[in-house]
Amino acid sequence: MARHGGRGWYGQVVAAALGVTAVTVAASLWTAQAGPVNGRAQAGTPAHHPAPKAAPVSMGIAHASDRGARGVNITIDDGPDPVWTPEVLQVLKEYGVKATFCMIGPQAKAHPDLVKTVVAAGHRLCDHTVSHDVTMDTKSEAYQSQQILDAEHMITEASGGVRPLYYRAPGGAFTPYSRKLAASHGMRPLGWNVDSKDFERPGTTAIVTTVKEEMPNGPTILFHDAGGDRSETVAALREVLPWLKEQGYSFGFPVR
C-alpha cells in the first residue's frame, strides 16, 4: 500500500494531540454497530466497575467486501472535516451508499456533531490514529498503543458511544503488534485495494480514471474528506458511484 507523504495539515493534528494521555479502552456502551461489549477495567476505574472492551476480531488486514464478489467498499479517510464531510455525506445519501469513515482522533473530538451525523446515516467508523504518523511501523509499541487507543477513545466519545469497527494504519504502516492490539479491541485492521490518489488533487477526471482502472485490484476504495480542498473528491464520487452501480457492483462494508 502506498504511503502518503507531505501532509503539512497533520502538523496541526499532531499539535492538537500533544498532552493527550494514553487510554486503554473506550467508554462502555451497548451500540447498534458494536453490540454488547466486555473486557477489562480502564486505568483508574474501580475494580468493581470494569470498563468493557469490544470482543476481539481477526487481526488479518481486511480487503474483501461483506457483499461478496461484486461488492465494493467506499472508505473515506482523515476527517471529519466541517466543510467536506457534509459534502461527502450528501453525495453518499443521493446514491444510497453506505461508507466507512476512517477518522483522526482529534478531528473527531473537535467535531462530535459530524461523527454523530455519520453514525446516524448508517455509515461505519474506523480508527485512523491520533496524528496520522505514516512511520508508525518504526515506532515503539507504547507509541503505537497511544496512537490507536487514544483515537479509539476520542472517536467513541464523539459518537456518543459507537465504537470504531476498524483500524486503518496511516499510509498502511501496520505492524503485527498494532494489528493484534486493534483486533483485541474489536477493530479489524483495514487495508485498501484501490487508491484513488484524490489526496494529491490530480483533477476529477484523473481520480475517476484511476478508480476505474484499478477496480480489478479489489473492492475497497480509498478516498479522503479532509486534509485540504476535497472538491475534486466530491465531484469524483458523483461520477464513480453511479458508474459502479452500472457495472453491477453493490455497496457494502469491509469484512469483519
List the catalytic residue out of 4, 128, 153, 224: 224
> Dihedral of the CA atoms 164, 33, 185, 73 (nearest 10)?
-60
Question: Residue 212 corresponds to which amino acid?
Answer: K
Is beta strand 220-224 parallel, antiparallel or unpaired with respect to 166-167?
unpaired
List the catalytic residue out of 77, 78, 127, 225: 77
Is beta strand 124-127 parallel, antiparallel or unpaired with respect to 100-103?
parallel
Write out the three cell numbers for 96: 444510497
Is residue 77 annotated as a catalytic residue, yes or no? yes
Instruction: Assign 3-class secondary structure to 118-172.
Output: HHHCCCEEEECCCCCCCCHHHCCHHHHHHHHHHHHHHHHHHHCCCCCCEECCHHH
Is residue 113 annotated as a catalytic residue, yes or no? no
Catalytic residues: 77, 224
